């Protein structure tokens, strides 16, 4: 199953137009993404807020991740302060996968940003968090926090943005988006047989693990007749017909 490094901004000095700062609101956004990621079967590790961007890159490269996702908000140059709006999703120009993910995120965000023509995927030749990571990486600049309208949109739509970006990750990974809900627990009920854990909610999905009859399992989401399960650290899909809540 997919595994991502979630890297919200650590730039607490970037103050917003009215109150708060970039680090605060990007971490609030990451907080809201977590239930959606779990429900969709996407495991994640978050960056250490005490470390800078160099530390985030190092920590990401130390692990094994499918995607490095950096969450930021933008600020205009001093001569244009407060006058710019828009969303930029930065990708590595030599990575077709980075560009693909950036385009998916940008296209989906157009549905919830009030100025869809100002949402774009942009190549970067300088952002280390995109260019120096082993994992496929994108960096999201989610509006201009020095602009009152963008700041208000961001603050009032954290939940929608979290859902939207997670939906984009699901599109990229080729897995169904699952609505977030409360974590539940169930018991495997198979009359003595094992219950397979798969990479996709279908019998064609690759088997990545198995749970014995009577095992207790965490259920993070549900899609059709399948549960998104976490059993001893193995995350995948199992048939809901053989799990008793």
Domains of the chain: 3-173 (3.40.630.40), 184-244 (2.30.30.40)
What's the average model confidence in pLDDT over 177-206? 95
The pTM (predicted TM-score) of the whole model is: 0.94
- Does the pLDDT of residue 237 top 90, yes or no? yes
Q: How confident is the model at residue 119 (pLDDT cuts 50, 70, 90)?
A: very high
Residue 94 is given by DSSP the state T
- Does the pLDDT of residue 138 top 90, yes or no? yes
Give alpha helix (H) positions in the chain. 22-39, 53-62, 96-109, 128-131, 148-156, 158-173
- Does the pLDDT of residue 44 top 90, yes or no? yes
Model pLDDT, residue 163: 98
- Does the pLDDT of residue 28 top 90, yes or no? yes
- Does the pLDDT of residue 76 top 90, yes or no? yes
Nearest CA-CA partner of 30 in 54, 50, 55, 5: 5
- Does the pLDDT of residue 181 top 90, yes or no? no
Pairing of strands 136-144, 87-91: antiparallel
What's the average model confidence in pLDDT over 48-68? 96
Percent of the chain with pLDDT over 90: 99
Under 8 Å between Cβ of 157 and 112: yes
Model pLDDT, residue 238: 97
CA distance 158 to 86: 16
């Amino acid at each position: 199953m997919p595994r991502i490094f979630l890297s919200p901004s650590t730039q607490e000095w970037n103050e917003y137009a009215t109150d708060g700062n970039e680090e605060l609101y990007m971490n609030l956004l990451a907080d809201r993404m977590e239930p959606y990621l779990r429900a969709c079967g996407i495991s994640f590790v978050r960056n250490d807020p005490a470390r800078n961007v160099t530390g985030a890159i190092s920590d990401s490269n130390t692990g094994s991740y499918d995607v490095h996702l950096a969450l930021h908000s933008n600020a205009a140059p001093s001569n244009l302060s407060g006058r710019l709006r828009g969303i930029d999703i930065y990708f590595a120009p030599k990575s077709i996968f980075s560009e693909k993910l950036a385009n998916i995120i940008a296209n989906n965000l157009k549905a919830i940003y009030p100025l869809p023509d100002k949402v774009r995927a942009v190549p970067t030749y300088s952002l280390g968090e995109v260019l120096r990571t082993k994992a496929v990486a994108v960096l999201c600049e989610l509006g201009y926090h020095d602009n009152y309208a963008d700041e208000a949109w961001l603050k009032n739509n954290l939940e929608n943005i979290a859902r939207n970006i997670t939906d984009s990750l699901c599109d990229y990974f080729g897995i169904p988006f699952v609505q977030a809900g409360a974590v539940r627990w169930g018991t495997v009920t198979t009359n003595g047989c094992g219950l397979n854990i798969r990479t996709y909610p279908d019998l064609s999905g690759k088997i990545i693990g198995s749970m014995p009859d009577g095992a207790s399992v965490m259920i993070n989401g549900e899609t059709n007749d399948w549960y998104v399960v976490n059993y001893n650290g193995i995350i995948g899909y199992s048939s809901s017909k053989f799990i008793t809540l």
